[in-house]
Amino acid sequence: MEEIGKVIDQANEQALGVLLSGEPVLVDVVLAADVIDGLKEKIILHAGPPIEWNKMCGPMRGAICGIAVFEGWASNLNEAEKLASQGSLEFAPNHQFGCVGPMTGMTTASQPLIVVENQHYGNRAYCTINEGLGKVMRFGGNDQTVLERLSWIKNELAPLLGRALRRAGGINLKPLIARGLTMGDEMHQRNIACSSLLLRELAPHMAAVAPETETLARAYSFIASNDQFFLNVAMAAGKALTDPAYGIKGSSMVTAMSRNGTDFGIRVSSTGDRWFTAPVEMPQGLYFPGYSESDANPDMGDSAIVETIGLGGFAMGAAPAVAGFVGAGAASQAGQYTKNMAEITLGENKSWTIPAMDYLGVPTGIDIRRVVEANTSPTINTGIAHKEPGIGQVGAGVAKAPMACFQKALRAFAEQMGVK
């Protein structure tokens, strides 16, 4: 047993080193069909572990129908629902294709994707562009206003951002995120600082390549009014950082956490692409006027990749304002969430520190052994979608990863390591 323990410790040191040494750089915005192998006609990538239509929650079904209309596979939502229910559409997790997506996580061939390259290891990861707030597809929205916004993003905003990023030669995200943490962001429910910093970096290049001032004005206005614009960038960075840590035999470090509104799934370095799932839990939080927990859908989205790299709920100490917004208690309690997460992680990230906690590095490298031993689940900051399709966001809160996922993963890991 002592020898096995040494093997695990060495493997975890390697896995954490891979995660911490990554260099995420935002390099481009491109069409999904041009970069995602195997993303053919009538394939829809979604958030979370694998799921079929008959098990999907309301907002996931709403987004599926909406994206089918957007892609031109159906002329209306009823026709789209018929296609899905008859098995004419194919579904697969974003993670399987090198992507991530917030909430419902819709990714299809015609959508533009943010490209983040881990320049230390050479791999790339992708995420859709954040649509803004309110009734949006990631929360199950699917009406004409949602589709028109997606078309504008595809046809006008995305090409402009792509040209600007190529002109800029990419934007290094590691120092940008570090600055955001000192300005009150945690990169999941609060992205105000990083969204502003990103726009400041991009603005001169956007101005240089914009075809006309009206196009530029619309782009500036959209990004400036969207406090969550940087979330999708942070998610792509998280995927780019974690992917090189897959397949390190003997490592018990978590490489993905994700939810589809029905199931919560995790992946572990040593066990590669295998999902360990359990029923997803309901977030605890605050609701918009007129809504309550009875309206809410259980937790969903690939955005927990942010917590997987030590941000979001793990960096709550950097963002005391978030604690009140998500119903996690007083601002003075925010640091306790970060301290609790330090008990289940392999180390801290000295590149991303929290000034209010004496420059503590964010807790990084979730260890399934420590989660089970401490009986402490990862804390995830999250948005809350209405349980019915087509309505959208109704609140924000905190969710806990189901302990059963980690217990299943630990049993499989023990079996792999020859421990009975």
User: In this predicted model, what pLDDT tens digit does every residue of 101-151 receive, in sequence order?
Assistant: 999 999 999 999 999 999 999 999 999 999 988 789 999 999 999 999 999
In 3D space, the residue among 328, 397, 402, 315 whose CA is nearest the CA of residue 362 turns out to be 315
Tokens of 400: 């806990």
What fold, for 25-236?
Answer: Enterococcus faecalis V583 fold (3.90.1710)
Q: What is the pTM of this model?
A: 0.96
Task: Report the mean per-residue pLDDT for the chain.
Answer: 95
Q: What pLDDT, on a 0 to 100 scale, did the predictor assign at position 326?
A: 54
Alpha carbon distance 332, 339 (integer Å): 13
Torsion-angle region of 185 (φ positive above 0: left; ψ -120 to 50: alpha; else: beta): beta
Residue-range domain boundaries for the chain: 25-236, 247-416
Q: How far apart are the first and last CA of the chain?
A: 10
Distance of CA 165 to the CA centre of its chain: 21
**What contacts 323, CB < 8 A, 6 or more positions away?**
316, 329, 330, 331, 333, 334, 337
Strands 112-118 and 24-31, by their bridges, are antiparallel
Residue type, 217: A
Per-residue pLDDT tens over the stretch 43-55? 999 999 999 999 9
Alpha carbon distance 147, 279 (integer Å): 31
Q: CA-based Rg of the chain, rounded to a whole angstrom?
A: 20
Per-residue pLDDT tens over the stretch 384-407? 988 988 888 888 888 999 999 999
Q: What is the CB neighbour count within 10 angstroms for residue 109?
A: 17
pLDDT at position 332 over 80: no
Give the mean model confidence (pLDDT) for residues 359-381. Answer: 97
Q: Alpha carbon of 58 to those of 55, 120, 144, 295: distances in Å?
A: 10, 40, 18, 11
In 3D space, the residue among 276, 246, 360 whose CA is nearest the CA of residue 310 turns out to be 360
* Confidence label for 275 from pLDDT (cuts 50, 70 and 90): very high
Q: What pLDDT, on a 0 to 100 scale, did the predictor assign at position 327?
A: 54
* Alpha-helix runs per DSSP H in 153-227: 158-168, 173-182, 192-209, 213-224
pLDDT at position 367 over 70: yes
Q: What pLDDT, on a 0 to 100 scale, did the predictor assign at position 322?
A: 81
Give the mean model confidence (pLDDT) for residues 183-203. Answer: 96
Q: What pLDDT, on a 0 to 100 scale, did the predictor assign at position 215?
A: 97
pLDDT at position 186 over 80: yes
Q: What pLDDT, on a 0 to 100 scale, did the predictor assign at position 328?
A: 55
Q: What is the CB neighbour count within 10 angstroms for residue 155?
A: 10
Domains 25-236 and 247-416 agree in fold: no
* Alpha-helix runs per DSSP H in 71-138: 77-85
pLDDT at position 34 over 80: yes
On whether the CB atoms of residues 307 and 378 are closer than 8 A, the answer is yes
Give the mean model confidence (pLDDT) for residues 57-84. Answer: 96
- Tell me the longest C-alpha to C-alpha distance in the chain: 67
* Alpha-helix runs per DSSP H in 225-299: 229-242
**CATH homologous superfamily, domain 247-416:** v583 domain like (3.90.1700.10)
* Confidence label for 3 from pLDDT (cuts 50, 70 and 90): confident
Q: What pLDDT, on a 0 to 100 scale, did the predictor assign at position 394?
A: 87
Alpha carbon distance 103, 82 (integer Å): 23
Alpha carbon distance 309, 239 (integer Å): 9
Q: What pLDDT, on a 0 to 100 scale, did the predictor assign at position 202?
A: 98
Give the mean model confidence (pLDDT) for residues 224-247. Answer: 97
Alpha carbon distance 130, 223 (integer Å): 9
On whether the CB atoms of residues 305 and 242 are closer than 8 A, the answer is yes
pLDDT at position 329 over 80: no
SS3 299: coil
